[in-house]
Structure 1
């Protein structure tokens, strides 16, 4: 590309960038918000920019007329949510007003008008519509309509803070919308093992408490349900169907180790100079591995409290092998590697007790329990 064409291209790019910066392109496309935003920013940086001045003057006039016309269209229409549309149109006009107010050079070009009272009135009307829709939904008194009511009341707050009993209505809606889940006692069925699930229960209840804080779901124990006189919607059952331990097994393996070129002594030659004597060293090395197999099954089930219908059921299984390694040797230690020497210094350990292994099993299945709860109650987010 020769210099002439490069100059033309650079000039075209410069003009395009300038047009974008002043908002001219956005104005031509009918994007008045972007056009005015860019024009105001350009005039704040360069009050004498002629293109930005033209965009501001023409843009504010056209944009104001456009939004006010939209307000009249909404008022004449029969849309239930027309006041939300009117609120949004006045909000844009007030944004133009604030932006221009912060630009001294802009104020000398246009006289923006404020519509705060009109926006507040539209917001109050929009809030009242949402409030009535919420009350109608709340009166139906089902979990689904309770959630709809909660959403309407929250929407009402977006448009107006002047709603006297809104906190009470939100509380009522959340109570109706919340699924109440009774957690049955968690039994353990294990052959010849005395185990406690206190660790699992504490961990589970802590998680359920955190999980339910921002959701339409609440979990209760039987005692809590009786104390609060709560009628559950769901019943969550978790039972350790079985937890078994195998017999500890020890596997030993003995090998002969040999290393050459090891200094095994010294000798002195006729000149009185000492020399190393190299030879081979040997050791009989025995490695030992003790293993203990454990396995368990946790039955996870959620039922409908009214009909007894099983809503979800999972068999959560896990198994583990505990391992311990140690070694011994007879012979010359120099035949061993550093790792073999380190292992030979270890001693045989007894396997962990059943409760320790059971807790390890709980840690392995706990994440799956959380996952099942999150999946089943995924649509309860507030």
Structure 2
């Protein structure tokens, strides 16, 4: 029992000594903010530790001097982002105040200053700067400038969440910044809608739209089906035309090879004595006919993108193949000529070729995945 108590006390003392040493090292390295926060945390357990009290007092004093010096320099700057930098300095000062405030006994000794009013003031100033920058970007009237404006309004709201004007402009900027892309129903060469097969019970293009909507890869690109675009009265910026150029469901082709096998087998045994048996052998022959049945199918999907003016801006071809094969064997002649391995081949169960529907499913899923990657990669540049 005494041993356990001794170990517990020793562990607590070691941990405490480590805490002092760590805070002291931070102080010695000039990391005053971190030293204050760590010392305050440790003083919650022992508010009267003289070493930690000395560290937090000195660290806070030096930290305040550093931050206020930088704030003064920033206030003299003409850089439009100075208010944002000043806000960050005040935020660091307030973080130290909050850490010390949690230890009432230390609060009376260090007497930190509450910078919350400065945070409010400079958060609004920083928000106003970001808002003005956003307005300036919007007046350039390009997709890129609207995207930049959107990001500026986001930052304006981060500094002042209640900025109603920034919220309105954020939504307005996004409407102009976004590229609305319509995925048209997939067609076969010749112009008619391809609908004889659907992936998972849904049309190919519908599945593609869902996949792109789930992860477009670009916050400024939104994908719609043609029906959704019409029903929601969406402004169309670009259209993706999907067209199956070729769909070849292959036929079965057989390639046969014949292999002759033979074996010497016992056809007669004559016993002259119990320990004297004479065997007569004869050669038996058989032909093993091995058939390799193959079926090769392919599809080519053409992806064309045009803008609202009808001008083609990008195209690509997506190819997929489906190769199936099976081997089976028959024989003629004397079965006794077959080895065990030959019998296994001959007796192997025949594998049936996949159905046309199964082949089309695999092909279309393959081009869907490839087209998804290529379309997403293309629109990531917007």
Could you say if the C-alpha distance between residues 144 and 333 of structure 1 is closer, same or farther in structure 2, counting changes exceeding 3 Å? farther
Deviates more, 1:208-217 or 1:360-369: 208-217
- Aligned position for 2:210: 206
Name the CA distance, whole Å, in 1 between partners of 2:183 and 2:303. 11
Name the CA distance, whole Å, in 1 between partners of 2:22 and 2:56. 9
- Aligned position for 1:111: 111
Q: Which runs of 5+ in 2 are unaligned?
A: 1-13, 275-281
Whether the 8 Å contact between 2:180 and 2:223 is mirrored in structure 1 is yes
How far off its partner does 1:73 sit? 3.0
- Aligned position for 1:362: 364
Whether the 8 Å contact between 1:44 and 1:105 is mirrored in structure 2 is no
- Aligned position for 2:36: 36
- Aligned position for 1:376: 378
Whether the 8 Å contact between 1:183 and 1:220 is mirrored in structure 2 is yes
Name the CA distance, whole Å, in 1 between partners of 2:35 and 2:23. 4
How far off its partner does 1:118 sit? 1.7
How far off its partner does 1:336 sit? 2.6
- Aligned position for 2:294: 291
Whether the 8 Å contact between 2:183 and 2:225 is mirrored in structure 1 is yes
How far off its partner does 1:97 sit? 1.1
- Aligned position for 2:255: 251
Q: Can you list the C-alpha shifts for 1:311-349, whole angstroms capped at 9, x where unaligned?
A: 332222233322133334562598334x95377242363
How far off its partner does 1:378 sit? 1.8
How far off its partner does 1:115 sit? 1.4
| Count of residue pairs the alignment pairs up | 352
- Aligned position for 1:236: 240
Name the CA distance, whole Å, in 1 between partners of 2:20 and 2:305. 59
How far off its partner does 1:285 sit? 4.2
Could you say if the C-alpha distance between residues 22 and 297 of structure 1 is closer, same or farther in structure 2, counting changes exceeding 3 Å? closer
Residue number among 316, 337, 349 corresponding to 1:346 in the alignment: 349
Q: Alignment partner of 1:324: what SS?
A: strand
Whether the 8 Å contact between 1:32 and 1:59 is mirrored in structure 2 is yes
- Aligned position for 2:176: 176
Name the CA distance, whole Å, in 1 between partners of 2:337 and 2:240. 60
Residue number among 300, 305, 320 corresponding to 2:303 in the alignment: 300
How far off its partner does 1:44 sit? 4.4
1:85-96 to 2 correspondences below 5 Å: 85-96=85-96
Q: Which runs of 5+ in 1 are unaligned?
A: 1-13, 272-278
Name the CA distance, whole Å, in 2 between partners of 1:74 and 1:351. 73
Name the CA distance, whole Å, in 2 between partners of 1:263 and 1:333. 12
Name the CA distance, whole Å, in 2 between partners of 1:108 and 1:72. 27
Root-mean-square deviation over aligned CA pairs? 3.9
Whether the 8 Å contact between 1:21 and 1:38 is mirrored in structure 2 is no
How far off its partner does 1:151 sit? 0.6
Whether the 8 Å contact between 2:187 and 2:243 is mirrored in structure 1 is yes
- Aligned position for 2:326: 324
Q: Alignment partner of 2:145: what SS?
A: helix
Whether the 8 Å contact between 1:188 and 1:195 is mirrored in structure 2 is no
Name the CA distance, whole Å, in 1 between partners of 2:52 and 2:343. 81
Could you say if the C-alpha distance between residues 170 and 195 of structure 1 is closer, same or farther in structure 2, counting changes exceeding 3 Å? closer
Q: Alignment partner of 2:34: what SS?
A: helix
Q: Alignment partner of 2:187: what SS?
A: coil
- Aligned position for 1:275: none
Whether the 8 Å contact between 1:42 and 1:49 is mirrored in structure 2 is no
Residue number among 326, 334, 340 corresponding to 1:336 in the alignment: 340
Q: Alignment partner of 1:109: what SS?
A: helix
Name the CA distance, whole Å, in 1 between partners of 2:177 and 2:323. 46
Name the CA distance, whole Å, in 1 between partners of 2:137 and 2:119. 27
- Aligned position for 1:276: none
Name the CA distance, whole Å, in 2 between partners of 1:346 and 1:112. 85
